[in-house]
Amino acid sequence: MKKILVPTDFSEQAENALKVAAQLARTHNCEIHLLHVIELPLNEVDALTSHSEFPEAIFFMKLAHKKFNKLKNEDYLEGINIYESVGFQEIFKGVFHASKKHDIDLIIMGSNGASGLKEMIIGSNTEKIVRTSETPVLVIKNEHQSFKVTNFVFASDFKKENKPSYQKALHFAKIFNANMHLLIVNTPNNFKTSGESLLAMQTFADDFDYPHQSINIYNDINIETGIMNFSESISAELIGMSTHGRQGISHFFNGSISEDLVNHAKRPVITFKI
């Protein structure tokens, strides 16, 4: 892990993410790429392609760089290589393109979640990034004076398609020498016997050489609640999941447990795209 991308709107939540990024960067000699995306009306974004001196765009860009300069003078960023950029597009597209351009290893984002009608209709920007990003996304909800991961929950159905995601999760776990807790949540609507679940997880885990793995089955009313309750029961510092990156009508009907966790979990959540 050498390059960390931190999208920022200069809010308190975004700074919480940046503080975690700074801790990881300092420990593992990473550089941080700060990205601020300005979402202008579509007709104005189109104008930017042909008019580089568009007054509103220039104003917002200068304002962003002023805020970047102030942010980079914070003590917790001292000695870290920081790069900044400003984009004019939808936020999730800006993050996607910046990740590709700079060959980013990890995206760290702050979020205070979304709920109710707002979540159903538009979702949060963080949720959209989780859905579309090919790079692992770590979502931070609160300030962490010391970001440490001793217990890492990886929830899955442990089918073959999740193995590449789990390999990435293990890479992250090794950074902290964390205990990895493999988790299947049994629900009334998707019930499996303990024997079936244990066999699936053991077969899955046997393909990975990691000494700190445990296998866990947890019963709850739904998968999302089960993941959060199990994580609470072992005082896990991090929850990890694969995400399918569903789009459009498929996402509306099927939903995504990983995106719901990003919105609702109090703990940090990291997602890995299948």
So what's the pLDDT on residue 47? 47
CA–CA separation, 56 and 175 (whole Å) = 43
So what's the pLDDT on residue 190? 84
Same CATH topology for 3-140 and 151-273? yes
Of the ranges 37-46, 183-192, 193-202, 227-236, the best mean pLDDT one: 227-236
CB 134 within 8 A of CB 273: yes
Q: Is the pLDDT confidence value at 232 over 60?
A: yes
Q: For the residues 200-206, what does the mean pLDDT come to?
A: 92
So what's the pLDDT on residue 126? 81
Question: 11: which DSSP letter?
Answer: S
CA–CA separation, 173 and 180 (whole Å) = 7
So what's the pLDDT on residue 228? 96
CB 217 within 8 A of CB 193: no
So what's the pLDDT on residue 252? 40
Length of the chain: 274
So what's the pLDDT on residue 263? 82
Q: Is the pLDDT confidence value at 257 over 70?
A: yes
Q: Is the pLDDT confidence value at 43 over 90?
A: no
Q: Is the pLDDT confidence value at 121 over 80?
A: no
**The two structure tokens encoding residue 221:** 């009313």
Q: Is the pLDDT confidence value at 189 over 90?
A: no
Domain 3-140: CATH class, spelled out: alpha beta
Lowest mean pLDDT among 21-25, 35-39, 101-105: 35-39
Q: For the residues 217-240, what does the mean pLDDT come to?
A: 96
Q: For the residues 152-173, what does the mean pLDDT come to?
A: 93
Q: For the residues 259-272, what does the mean pLDDT come to?
A: 88
Instruction: Return the percent helix, strand and coil in the chain, to nearest 5.
Output: 45, 20, 30
pLDDT in tens, 45-86: 444 444 455 666 777 788 888 999 999 899 999 999 999 998
Task: Give the start-to-end residue ranges of the domains of the chain.
Answer: 3-140, 151-273
**The two structure tokens encoding residue 178:** 């964390």
So what's the pLDDT on residue 191? 86
pLDDT band of residue 113 (cuts 50, 70, 90) is low
264: Cα separation from own chain's centroid: 13
pLDDT band of residue 202 (cuts 50, 70, 90) is very high
pLDDT band of residue 120 (cuts 50, 70, 90) is very low
CA–CA separation, 20 and 30 (whole Å) = 12
Q: Can you list the alpha helix ranges (DSSP code H) found in 90-211?
A: 91-102, 116-121, 125-132, 163-176, 194-205
CB 164 within 8 A of CB 136: no
- Answer with the residue of higher pLDDT: 42 or 103: 103
113: Cα separation from own chain's centroid: 12
Q: Is the pLDDT confidence value at 229 over 60?
A: yes
Lowest mean pLDDT among 20-29, 40-49, 53-62, 234-243: 40-49
Q: For the residues 161-172, what does the mean pLDDT come to?
A: 93
Q: Which CATH architecture has domain 151-273?
A: 3-Layer(aba) Sandwich (3.40)
